[in-house]
Amino acid sequence: MILAPVTGEYVPLSDVKDDVFSQKLMGDGFGIQPTDQTIYAPVSGKVVSIFKTKHAIGLQTATGLEVLIHLGIDTVELAGQPFELFVSEGQEIMAGDKLATENIAMIKEAAKDPIVLTLITNSATTDSEIVEHLSSQAKVDANSLALIVK
């Protein structure tokens, strides 16, 4: 199970306005157009990477599933300004733990998309497969079930 990392509107990857994500070049998953700024861990495991611009956090579960939380589209250009992190690399986390906040207004003022993407980056090399997605444009609450992986 992968939980929604933020409250907002569920967006299938195919509807994301960036080919890298919509064509699943970084992996399968989903997006959420956030209505709240707090980002939570969608899975339990370990923080394995944090980009220096704070826009992406890599997690790995005990079963080896690699999950990337990507905050916004082209937000790397904002040099970390809209983000505050509450975790560090190597830290063990539980699903539902607070990972970060994102300043949605600042991102929009910079003409960027604040969508929060949750991607399984190693599904091609593991036995995992997504068996159920939510419906397009469903309203989701942070920490509610968003994706079923087997």
Residue-wise pLDDT tens digits, 36-94? 999 999 999 999 999 999 999 999 999 999 999 999 999 999 999 999 999 999 999 99
**Predicted confidence band at 22 (pLDDT cuts at 50, 70, 90)?**
confident
Strand 113-120 vs strand 92-93: parallel, antiparallel, or unpaired?
Answer: unpaired
Cα separation, 132 vs 69, in Å, equals 19
pTM summary value:
0.90
Q: Is 70 a catalytic residue?
A: yes
112: left (phi over 0), alpha (psi -120 to 50) or beta: beta
Burial of residue 77, with CB atoms counted within 10 A of its CB: 0-12 exposed, 13-18 middle, 19 or more buried:
exposed
Options 70, 72, 75, 142, the catalytic residue: 70
* More confident site: 136 or 49: 49
Q: Which domains does the chain have, with CATH numbers?
A: 2-149 (2.70.70.10)
**Predicted confidence band at 124 (pLDDT cuts at 50, 70, 90)?**
low
Asked whether the predicted pLDDT for residue 150 surpasses 60, the reply is: no
